[in-house]
Amino acid sequence: MTFTKRAVAKMLGGAMLAAGLATAAAAQDKTKVGFVYVGPVGDGGWTYEHNKGRLAVEEHFGDAVETVFVESVAEGPDSERVMTQMALDGADLIFTTSFGYMDATNNVAAKFPDVKFEHATGYKRLHPNVSTYSARFYEGRAIQGHIAGKMTESNIIGYIASYPIPEVIRGINSAFIHAQKVNPDVEFKIVWAYTWFDPAKEADAAKVLIDQGADVILQHTDSTAPQAAAQEAGNVVTFGQASDMAQYAPFPRVSSIIDDWAPYYIDRVQAVMDGTWESMDTWDGIGPGMVGIGEISDAVPADVKAEALAMKASLADGSYHAFTGPLSKQDGAQFLAEGETADDGMLAGMNFYVEGIDAEIPQ
């Protein structure tokens, strides 16, 4: 059988068209997942761990997914622009990974009902295509507070706080409760940085606290700058925040809270693929593995390390709750009776300090 040049060209053109359509179909079949980050992926803390979760999604699903991200997106109008562009670019699922993205997430979700949105640490689910998720960081703070109360020699513990929202206030309270349990003389000094990620501000806050006599620094900000400031100062204990920050171990960083988002991200992407995704709220802690406790270094006395690990186990299996009464508010009014534990509603709306903290919550 012979073919004319025109026939051959026609067959080749058809084959190329078919290949192109197949490629387009394959691309269309991919689930596109977007991530909006408040800090840079190299912050060593919060955003770094969210990005590890994104990479885990890629590794788990391979060619079945395409992930995209935008880093260092300011909370406010710019975040809404970024989310909108992701939706316009074909994202099937968008994770918005900072508290201040809450309203923007719901605003954009209203415009794109076929796109699924997942908002980290928020509480507003105004549309059926919005879910919220967070971790029980306060469980890790309880362990940190125990170690801090045992290790401080000055009895002054410094705390670098980000914003006066319930998540941060819960963490301060949990750390203080457990530090005071083992050291009734402990005092907390709190500096509000009004940022999630600003190494210069975080370093300055750490230095201010050290100048005020703190020999332990806790932080609810995202960079390793407080670790570096403590290392420079000398005999100051720190804890990794959101990520292990193990480059500062075994001292000053003696342990850490690690946010492990990968299993959640994989599950939620799978749900989109399966068509089973539903709007929901997830709040997991040490037990399910969303909150990890980084290796406790040998700089911590062996008995203190054993106590901290025992607390971790009891928090994980539910036999202990970080907010167990009797506990009173700063003004002396009891909010938990003997043996009573805080429910999630109380924790989610926590807007007060516990008794013993000599500071005011900024308004």
Mapping DSSP to helix (H, G, I), strand (E, B) and coil, where does residue 251 land?
coil
Tens digits of residue pLDDT in 297-344: 999 999 999 999 999 999 999 999 999 999 999 999 999 999 999 999
∠ CA 174-179-180 to the nearest 5 degrees?
Answer: 100
Quick check: 285 and 318 in contact, CB under 8 A?
Answer: no
Tens digits of residue pLDDT in 89-119: 999 999 999 999 999 999 999 999 999 999 9
pLDDT of residue 28: 61
Quick check: 213 and 158 in contact, CB under 8 A?
Answer: no
Q: How far apart are CA 275 and CA 273, in angstroms?
A: 6
Sorted by where each begins, the domain ranges of the chain are 20-136+261-284, 137-258+289-348
Closest CA to 49 of 95, 11, 2: 95
Into which CATH architecture does domain 20-136+261-284 fall?
3-Layer(aba) Sandwich (3.40)
Q: How far apart are CA 326 and CA 338, in angstroms?
A: 4
Superfamily of domain 137-258+289-348: Response regulator (3.40.50.2300)
- Identical fold for domains 20-136+261-284 and 137-258+289-348, yes or no, is yes
DSSP state of 256: E
Tens digits of residue pLDDT in 219-263: 999 999 999 999 999 999 999 999 999 999 999 999 999 999 999
pTM of the model: 0.89
Q: How far apart are CA 53 and CA 35, in angstroms?
A: 10
The mean pLDDT of the chain is: 93
The residues near 9 (Cβ < 8 Å, ≥ 6 apart) are none
Q: How far apart are CA 180 and CA 1, in angstroms?
A: 92
Closest CA to 38 of 159, 161, 198, 190: 198
Edge-to-edge strand ranges of the sheet holding 237-240: 187-192, 156-161, 216-219, 237-240, 253-259, 291-293
